[in-house]
Amino acid sequence: MTESKVDLLAVFPDLEPAANAIEHLRSIGVHDECMNIISGIPVTEAMLGRPSQWTNVPRIAMGGAILGFGAGFFLAFITPYLYPYPIKVSSQAFIPGPPTVVVLFELTMLGMLLSTFLGVFLDSFFPNYRPMKYVPEVSDGKIAILVECSHVEEKKVTDALKKMGAESVNPAEAQHL
């Protein structure tokens, strides 16, 4: 007998019952990959006892910092030699130290800032024009758990979510937001 895919959206009044429900779902055989938390407030993985999510933002930020440092290096060390007649100011070095440090630091930070913004923007798939599974109660401060799984029984998951304090457990429907 083939099992149908479970596609449920449960709404919880607070964070604690939602965290307890996630633990209980794990105990009945629902994997973390099958659960998605929908919240109107920032909720970390540690608050819900979930594994950390993998992201590319630190790598993208480091790449931006390296590019920014390269641009600063070019401005500080290469640009002075591009002038046909170098300007010598009294006994000052041709490439002075303190301004060079400032240029390198500022362009490194600028590259990292811009690439971090771009990385977060791209990593969150924003903007998203596809229909998404969502309930309006999330905007009022409630927590929703979306369960999309094919290896567990729907009735078992529904009973477990209601037992753990879900205000409502309904089939998930994709809507345009």
Q: What single-letter DSSP state applies at residue 101?
A: H
Helices marked H in the chain: 15-27, 45-48, 57-73, 79-82, 97-123, 154-163
Q: What angle do CA 133, 136, 140 make, to 5 degrees?
A: 130
Domain residue ranges in the chain: 6-53+131-175, 64-123
User: What confidence tens digit (pLDDT) does each residue in 15-72 have?
Assistant: 889 888 989 888 888 888 888 888 888 888 888 777 787 889 999 999 999 999 999 9
165: left (phi over 0), alpha (psi -120 to 50) or beta: left
Write down the pLDDT at residue 177.
61
Residue 115 CA to residue 117 CA, distance in Å, equals 5
**Global pTM value:** 0.66
Q: Domain 6-53+131-175 class?
A: alpha beta
In this prediction, residue 153 has a pLDDT band, given cuts at 50, 70 and 90, of confident
